[in-house]
Amino acid sequence: MKIDGVHYRTIWVADDGWSIEVIDQTKLPHAFQTVRLRSADDAARAIKDMVVRGAPLIGATAAYGLCLALRDDASDATLNEAYQMLAATRPTAVNLKWALDEMVKAVKPHGHSVRVDAAYAAASKICDDDVEICRRIGENGLKIIRGHAEVKPGKTVNILTHCNAGWLACVDWGTALAPIYMAHDAGIPVHVWVDETRPRNQGASLTAFELGRHGVPHTIIPDNAGGHLMQHGQVDLCIVGTDRTTATGDVANKIGTYLKALAAFDNDVPFYVALPHTTIDWTLDDGVAEIPIEQRSAREVTHITGRTDAGEIVTVEISAPGSAAANYGFDVTPARLVTGLITERGVAAATREGLLSLYPERR
Ligand SMILES: CSC[C@@H](O)[C@@H](O)C(=O)COP(=O)(O)O
């Protein structure tokens, strides 16, 4: 993604050749700032505090977190300790565990003297692969958007998305947003309904920022508006991301996704989920029962951060003082509500057979 003419990934090795630089997503859209991570603790804090977020980027950051740990001490004990600490940062996105496991596979066979180099090479590969995977997801999703454009020639294709599954959630491109960028670049008229995505407003702050920088027409809507828009024919399709997809096609994504899927089902609006293979948890069959759902601080519900007209960033309380608040980070959309899974290998039905047709090596 280009910001002020410069192409940025969301994570990279800094000029010193070892520390890791990331875009501070807690400051967007008001300020574009980067942050240096110099230790595994820094990486864990960045994930926990959502300086970086989005399933693929969480995985990439954890991978570099292991590199930073091994720089201090390349022993198995440090590797295990850093693995446990990073794995515990956020429970829902399975990409985190996937990336850490990939790192261990790449590092463990080596003697201590070459482990650091092996780790950086593996983390860099995770990032490069993610970019290519997201590009392919974009190409596969583009075909779906093109299909919608063909049945309404000259008219705008309206797409609803929830949370942020764009460039900022990955290393580049994004999952749900990649097809949209490609459609826009191909000259297909698209417009995106952007759910604001309470409580942290990743839609209003991050998705809208990304789409705006890329010149994609979009409108931020309150989370509850989607059903109304669907009833009035103003949504052609939904595309969202996912943090964990079961082998049977259930998808966990940002809280509120399930309600959008229900509304889409009721209104015959296709509901697609875009994902890299790293988001599939082949060990799970029942998403509602088995996917761990993160619960975050109630303060994210009771308080909100924004910029005043004077340009000051402030956090204010928005709820009745003293009331309890619950902050479930994700919900699970059952496979029966999902029209299709857009992956780097093609589009599959949200069923075990559908997924296995794309990933036959998992049979
Ligand atoms: C390609 S990112 C997919 C998901 O990680 C995304 O949709 C999402 O829900 C992100 O949640 P977040 O809590 O901001 O990390």
Residue 68, both tokens: 């930073």
Whether residue 133 has its Cβ less than 6 Å from ligand 1: no
Number of other residues whose CB lies within 10 A of the CB of residue 13: 16
Confidence band (pLDDT; 50, 70, 90) for 47? Answer: very high
Ligand 1 atom with the smallest distance to the CA of 330 is 9
Ligand 1 atom with the smallest distance to the CA of 294 is 13
Residue 163, both tokens: 């949370």
Q: Looking at the predicted structure, is the pLDDT value of residue 32 above 90? A: yes
Q: What topology does CATH give the domain 2-129?
A: Four Helix Bundle (Hemerythrin (Met), subunit A) (1.20.120)
Whether residue 243 has its Cβ less than 6 Å from ligand 1: yes
Q: Looking at the predicted structure, is the pLDDT value of residue 4 above 90? A: no
The tens digit of pLDDT for each residue in 215-238 reads 999 999 999 999 999 999 999 999
Task: Note the pLDDT of residue 275.
Answer: 98
Whether residue 166 has its Cβ less than 6 Å from ligand 1: no
Whether residue 66 has its Cβ less than 6 Å from ligand 1: no
Query: Which protein residue's CA is at the shortest distance from atom 10 of ligand 1?
Result: 54
Number of other residues whose CB lies within 10 A of the CB of residue 59: 31
**Ligand 1 centroid distance, CA of 54 (Å):** 4
| CB-based burial, 251-286: b 16+ in 10 Å, e otherwise | bbbbbbbbbbbebbbebebbbbbbbbbbbbbeebee
Residues of the chain with CATH 3.40.50.10470: 138-362
Residue 111, both tokens: 């003697």
Whether residue 165 has its Cβ less than 6 Å from ligand 1: yes
Catalytic annotation present for 16: no
Task: Note the pLDDT of residue 281.
Answer: 98
Task: Note the pLDDT of residue 175.
Answer: 98
Answer whether 344's CB lies under 8 Å from 133's CB. Answer: yes
Can you say whether the dihedral through the CA atoms of 164, 62, 28, 316 is positive or negative? Answer: positive
**Ligand 1 centroid distance, CA of 116 (Å):** 29
Q: What is the mean pLDDT of residues 68-89?
A: 97
Residues of the chain with CATH 1.20.120.420: 2-129
Residue 258, both tokens: 């399930």
Whether residue 54 has its Cβ less than 6 Å from ligand 1: yes
The tens digit of pLDDT for each residue in 109-146 reads 999 999 999 999 999 999 999 999 999 999 999 999 99
Query: Which protein residue's CA is at the shortest distance from atom 1 of ligand 1?
Result: 165
Annotated binding site: 53-55, 90, 202, 253-254
Residue 221, both tokens: 């809507």
Residue 110 falls in which region: left (phi positive, over 0), alpha (psi -120 to 50) or beta: beta
Whether residue 202 has its Cβ less than 6 Å from ligand 1: yes
Pocket test of ligand 1: the residue of 242, 291, 294 to mutate, having most ligand atoms within 8 Å of its CB, is 242
Q: Quick one: which of 103, 97, 129 has its CA closest to 118?
A: 103
Identify the DSSP state of 156. P
Q: Quick one: which of 164, 271, 250, 260 has its CA closest to 212?
A: 164
Pocket test of ligand 1: the residue of 130, 164, 342 to mutate, having most ligand atoms within 8 Å of its CB, is 164
**Ligand 1 centroid distance, CA of 230 (Å):** 23
Ligand 1 atom with the smallest distance to the CA of 95 is 5
Annotated binding site for substrate: 53-55, 90, 202, 253-254
Q: Quick one: which of 247, 305, 300, 242 has its CA closest to 272?
A: 242
Confidence band (pLDDT; 50, 70, 90) for 267? Answer: very high
**Ligand 1 centroid distance, CA of 200 (Å):** 11
Amino acid at 1: M
| Catalytic member of 42, 130, 172, 243 | 243
Task: Note the pLDDT of residue 289.
Answer: 98
Q: With pLDDT > 90 as the criterion, what percentage of the chain qualifies?
A: 99
Confidence band (pLDDT; 50, 70, 90) for 75? Answer: very high
Ligand 1 atom with the smallest distance to the CA of 169 is 2
3-state secondary structure of 206: helix
Q: What CATH number does domain 138-362 carry, 3.40.30.10, 3.40.50.10470, 2.60.120.560, 3.40.50.920?
A: 3.40.50.10470
The tens digit of pLDDT for each residue in 296-339 reads 999 999 999 999 999 999 999 999 999 999 999 999 999 999 99
**Ligand 1 centroid distance, CA of 110 (Å):** 34
The tens digit of pLDDT for each residue in 275-299 reads 999 999 999 999 999 999 999 999 9
